[in-house]
A and B are shown apart, each in its own frame.
Chain A
Amino acid sequence: MSDIAGQKSSLTWATHISVVFLVVIWLVPTIGLLVSSFRERDQISASGWWEAPFSVELTYRTRADSEPEPVDGGYRITGNIFETSEVQEAFADGEGRITAFGDSARAPGGYEVGTEADLGDGERLTVNADGSYTYIVPEEPRRPPRVYFEAASPPQFTLDNYRTVLTADNMDRAFINTLTVTVPATIIPILIAAFAAYALAWMDFPGRGLLIAAIVGLLVVPLQLALVPLLKLHQTIGIGQSFMGIWLAHTAFGMPLAVYLLRNYMAGLPRDIIESAKVDGATDFELFVRIILPLSFPALAAFSIFQFLWTWNDLLVAKVFLPSGDASKVMTVKIADDLLGSRGGDWGILATAAFVSIAVPLVVFFAMQRYLVRGLLAGSVK
């Protein structure tokens, strides 16, 4: 509608800018999580993820452990600080730039790089930006003397967090459990709902309107109501807290939306097709299997995506209907109850676990967005 006369170009620019602004705000938190999941623990706490591409200033301590050589009035230790045994690993690639140094943990960067520091008792230390140092001591030291320094360490990205999350902590188990809950809970309701939806859309019987209204009402019923009585019921009939129980629960909780969505869609199918099939002698069953089901594919796809996302992302139903042991925890429960509690401070692990748990829904979302949107519209717009 922008081609209509009277649009000002300044307004168009304002639109562009505000949309960019909106999109950036919406994306930034997720990007932060993604970037953090590839960073090391030290780097995460030393600089914000928005500074991830830049060097991080970290404090190191080491010992000047080259062989002391006697000189006039004492001993001299020279070498490169990056090659001393305590920090060798951190600077394995030979890069690094020192910004300051010192001789105590209280002031690890007390002296400017490149200057000679008088440490008292006749000790003098010089550390240059490239890591070369000269330490002069009056007597032969019993142990290599301590040196502290601050260095800009290059940005580091690692897959260590992913390795930890996927192998330790039972997160792999939780991933499998999530899949185990999700797939049957997505597939089983579809057929049940489709038959009911067909009956509500194309068969005439007394009380049809009332039933549709009831479905609409059930869409809203909070499932908190179901938790206590149904857990009790499951325990009475011997299912207890188990995968079987959660499949049944998810099947039922997804049912109102499934019936509602599919009925809306099926009711919109062209009457001619259905009537001509009936005239040709098709029974309701044949009509449903041969014509309605294939034609309703978009709605079936839409519901499957909804149900998949909902069951994958669910925390409440999993907490109540699955046993609380580690063997049957799904990812959301694992993250909310275990990681946030015991690993509360390990941001790298948290970010990675979160990303692992949202990766699959995101793929499904971007691959099937078309159907999702269509389903939303069928379910909401009047």
Chain B
Amino acid sequence: MSPVLQGLVTIVIGVASCVAYFFFSNMILDKVLFPPRGENAGRNINRANQWRPWLFMFPAMFVLGLYLVYPVVGSFWRSLFNRSGDEFVGLGNYAILFNSPEFQTAVFNNILWLIFVPAASTFLGLLAAQLTDDLKWGNIAKSLIFMPMAISFVGASLIWKFVYANDFDIGLINAIRGLFGAEEPIDLMQVPFWNNFFLMVILIWIQTGFAMVILSAALRGIPEETVEAAIIDGANPFQVFFKIKVPQVMSTIMVVWTTITVLVLKIFDIVYTMTGGNFGTEILPSYMMTFMFRDDGRATAVAIVIMVLTLPVLWWNIHNARKEMR
């Protein structure tokens, strides 16, 4: 069967079986298990209502449990075994990792990414949100800055490959250098240390739009009286922005910051397409992919390290969500 046909059949079967599951399980609950009739009618209604939420949630909980909760345990367990998975090595994979120079480079670079990308994206996003807010054509500007969000990381990398190309006639950066009298084009992907930042620019280019959209909504939500009062008191536009507006959207800034932080820990595409992790640009997600299909023990060990790095954000998010629900 051709994959296209298989896809269509899957859609039909998938949707139909979802509908059937919800419809029939609900009917069985109401009509068969706890019918609202007879002497126990009242009690049955209550019991049906106790069961129903779990009925509604079961498919979602099942896939979540299987595909996201189980792997946390499964990956950790697998990371305790050797390459082929038949010999228990304890924390051996971790020991090898922590002693390998590539892993140390990856961690170091990843820390650079974690500091630089969220900070720059959030800052630029805030700036763009504030600047476009007052303009008549602000919405068009916003939509253009937001556009890279739709582009895949692979596509974005290719786009920037043209900007960084090692050629006066292809690479924009080298063309500009040539304008200022550079003799030879340089390969920006091979400039030690700074090449990391050139790669980060790609992710910043993508994520600034996201930050801008959210912060722009937050800025609009600021009560106007606070701004008016500040202006009447003689605050200049910069003071209004930094002392009145920014403090009021601080919680949104944190949300944006943490969202991008988590994203940074998941993205391997950019490094993979631009440098393949060479020239000292390896980061943890791409480092993990070098072991994928080759050494599951070490691949999962790297995955667990990534997981541990996300824990603070995870805790912070849950903490916030709970606070909000109370």
- Does B57 lie within 8 Å of A224, measured CB to CB? no
- Does A32 lie within 8 Å of B162, measured CB to CB? yes
Inter-chain contacts of A29 with B (CB < 8 A): 159-160, 162-163, 172, 205
Known: A247-B10, A252-B68, A336-B154. A48 touches B170 (CB 8 A): yes
Main secondary structure of the interface of B (DSSP, over half): helix
A377 within 8 A of B: yes
Number of interface residues of B (CB under 8 A): 118
Known: A26-B145, A187-B14, A191-B15. A1 touches B224 (CB 8 A): yes
- Does B158 lie within 8 Å of A354, measured CB to CB? yes
Q: Which residue of A lies closest to B322 (CB)?
A: A213
Known: A22-B131, A313-B151. A283 touches B299 (CB 8 A): no
A19 within 8 A of B: yes
- Does B169 lie within 8 Å of A47, measured CB to CB? yes
- Does A227 lie within 8 Å of B303, measured CB to CB? yes
Known: A22-B141, A184-B10, A357-B155. A377 touches B231 (CB 8 A): no
Shortest Cβ distance from residue B320 to the other chain A in the assembled complex, whole angstroms = 7
- Does A216 lie within 8 Å of B269, measured CB to CB? no
Q: Mark A11-27, 1 if CB is under 8 A from B, else 0.
A: 11001101100110011
B246 within 8 A of A: no
**180-212 of chain A: CB within 8 A of chain B:** 180-181, 183-184, 187-188, 191-193, 195-196, 198-200, 203, 205, 208-209, 211-212
Q: Mark B277-318, 1 if CB is under 8 A from A, else 0.
A: 000000001001100100010011011101100100110011
Inter-chain contacts of A216 with B (CB < 8 A): 317-318, 321
Q: Which residue of B lies closest to A372 (CB)?
A: B149
A282 within 8 A of B: no
- Does A217 lie within 8 Å of B318, measured CB to CB? yes
Q: Which of B145, B155, B288 neighbours the largest number of chain A CB atoms within 10 Å of its CB?
A: B155
Enumerate 27 A-B pairs (CB-CB under 8 Å) in ascending A order: A4-B231, A7-B237, A22-B131, A26-B208, A29-B205, A48-B170, A48-B175, A193-B60, A199-B53, A203-B49, A213-B322, A217-B314, A218-B64, A224-B285, A225-B71, A228-B75, A228-B299, A232-B74, A243-B3, A252-B63, A255-B63, A255-B68, A315-B268, A361-B151, A362-B151, A376-B213, A377-B217
Inter-chain contacts of A82 with B (CB < 8 A): none
Query: In the complex, A80→B7 CA distance in Å?
Result: 60
Q: Which of A44, A211, A220 neighbours the largest number of chain B CB atoms within 10 Å of its CB?
A: A220
Query: In the complex, A350→B155 CA distance in Å?
Result: 10
- Does B314 lie within 8 Å of A45, measured CB to CB? no
Q: Which of A11, A28, A32 neighbours the largest number of chain B CB atoms within 10 Å of its CB?
A: A32
- Does B217 lie within 8 Å of A221, measured CB to CB? no
Residues of A within 8 A of B (CB): 1-2, 4-8, 11-12, 15-16, 18-19, 22-23, 26-30, 32-33, 36, 44-50, 176-177, 179-181, 183-184, 187-188, 191-193, 195-196, 198-200, 203, 205, 208-209, 211-213, 215-230, 232-233, 243-244, 247-249, 251-253, 255-256, 259, 283-285, 288, 309, 312-316, 319-320, 328, 332, 335-336, 340, 347, 350-351, 353-354, 357-358, 361-362, 364-366, 369, 372-373, 376-377, 380-382
Shortest Cβ distance from residue B74 to the other chain A in the assembled complex, whole angstroms = 3
Known: A357-B152, A362-B147. A229 touches B71 (CB 8 A): yes
- Does A15 lie within 8 Å of B131, measured CB to CB? yes
B54 within 8 A of A: yes
Contact of B18 (CB < 8 Å), options: A192, A221, A227, A315 = A192
- Does A315 lie within 8 Å of B153, measured CB to CB? yes
Contact of A365 (CB < 8 Å), options: B18, B30, B149, B205 = B149
- Does A225 lie within 8 Å of B151, measured CB to CB? no
B69 within 8 A of A: yes
Q: Mark B6-20, 1 if CB is under 8 A from A, else 0.
A: 110011001100110
Contact of B145 (CB < 8 Å), options: A22, A180, A288, A372 = A22
Contact of B155 (CB < 8 Å), options: A12, A46, A177, A358 = A358
- Does B23 lie within 8 Å of A285, measured CB to CB? yes
Query: In the complex, A364→B152 CA distance in Å?
Result: 13
Inter-chain contacts of A372 with B (CB < 8 A): 149
Known: A48-B170, A217-B318. A380 touches B214 (CB 8 A): yes
B120 within 8 A of A: no
Inter-chain contacts of B304 with A (CB < 8 A): 225
- Does A229 lie within 8 Å of B75, measured CB to CB? yes
- Does B321 lie within 8 Å of A212, measured CB to CB? yes
Stretch at the interface among B92-100, B107-115, B190-198, B249-257: B249-257
Inter-chain contacts of A195 with B (CB < 8 A): 22, 56-57, 59-60
Inter-chain contacts of A288 with B (CB < 8 A): 56
Inter-chain contacts of A213 with B (CB < 8 A): 318, 321-322
Inter-chain contacts of B310 with A (CB < 8 A): 220-222
Query: In the complex, A82→B150 CA distance in Å?
Result: 46
Query: In the complex, A177→B167 CA distance in Å?
Result: 34
- Does B152 lie within 8 Å of A313, measured CB to CB? yes
Inter-chain contacts of B41 with A (CB < 8 A): none
- Does B147 lie within 8 Å of A365, measured CB to CB? yes
- Does A196 lie within 8 Å of B224, measured CB to CB? no
Query: In the complex, A215→B310 CA distance in Å?
Result: 15
B50 within 8 A of A: yes
Q: Which residue of A lies closest to B219 (CB)?
A: A1
Known: A29-B162, A195-B59, A217-B317. A230 touches B152 (CB 8 A): no
Query: In the complex, A12→B63 CA distance in Å?
Result: 52
Inter-chain contacts of B4 with A (CB < 8 A): 176, 179-180
Q: Which residue of B lies closest to A177 (CB)?
A: B3
- Does A26 lie within 8 Å of B205, measured CB to CB? yes
- Does A221 lie within 8 Å of B162, measured CB to CB? no
